[in-house]
Amino acid sequence: MAGHKPLEHYSSFRRIALAQWSAPSDPIIHGQMWFDVSEADALFDRLLDEDGVKVSYAALVGKAAATALAEIPGINGKVVGRKILLKETVDVYYQVDVGGGSDLTGTVIESVDGKSLSEVASALSAKADAIRAGKDEQYEGSQKRGILGRAPIGLLAWILKLFSFLMYRMGLPAQWLGASERDPFGSCMVTNVGNFGVEIAYAPLVPWTRVPYIFLVGRAQDRVIAVDGEPVVRRMLPVSATIDHRIIDGARIGQMATILKRVIENPNSLGVMDVENQDHAEEETT
């Protein structure tokens, strides 16, 4: 090829690298932001004191992501073949660690964009408690003791592909395949790695679930930031994302980041209703 000449000597690693990897064709985008959660912490304390609802950063990030997916047209969907199929609801799949991190599963909270932060947190807490207590039928029956937990790994790879094909390509209801929700993997996934002391991490997309967004919530910590040109200490939360570029472009990723910042840093904004706002709305309608 004109203007190029072959490399004459290859190291052993470069030989192995050329042998085992083909040309890049992956549509994944990675991104990471820090959010000031000072107002969120104050809201969490109030909800716990007044209503006994314990809200996690993961619940807030899932709510923020659902708000973005609801507000930005055309990004709440999944890639199936060469088409994008839009979802009718904005559902969030929350990863749940079991046995102190010895296993990992998850649960879906449906229509998160239409729920208050308290409702999301309460639903997530109840489902996570049931999973960890061995009372979740889907985890116990399918993943832990069922075919997903017992099939040989080679066979399991084909089972997962078949499950994905039947549900997304053939349109079979997920319940016919043993799932408890219409879409057992939701619009996006959220997992809290900060619980394990991890500051920042990135997760791979899970191809057979067709989920195009995964948000990892890191460990919140005090950091020095500039506010009006002055250094101040604020509680900051790192959130990283893995995104399928086929379903969203850079401009809309920018819109998503703006909405995430708005909701996470000001959870009493229009995107998230707190208990007081709910009560006020109910009083006006009675």
What structural domains and CATH numbers belong to the chain? 27-134+182-285 (3.30.559.10)
Separation of alpha carbons 132 and 150, rounded Å: 20
Contact, 183 vs 76, CB < 8 A? no
Q: What is the pTM of this model?
A: 0.86
pLDDT above 50 for 277 = no
What gap in Å lies between CA 92 and CA 85, rounded to an integer?
17
Q: Mind listing the pLDDT tens digit for each residue in 40-81?
A: 999 999 999 998 999 999 999 999 999 999 999 999 999 988
pLDDT for residue 221: 94
Query: With 70 as the cut, is the pLDDT of residue 180 above it?
Result: no
Report how far apart the first and last C-alpha atoms of the chain are (Å, whole number). Answer: 77
Per-residue pLDDT band at 163 (split at 50, 70, 90): confident
Range of weakest confidence among 40-54, 58-72, 183-197, 270-284: 270-284
CA distance 179 to 266: 35
Q: How far is CA 178 from CA 28, 139, 140, 143, 174, in A?
A: 30, 11, 12, 11, 7
The percent of residues in the chain predicted with pLDDT above 70, rounded, is 86
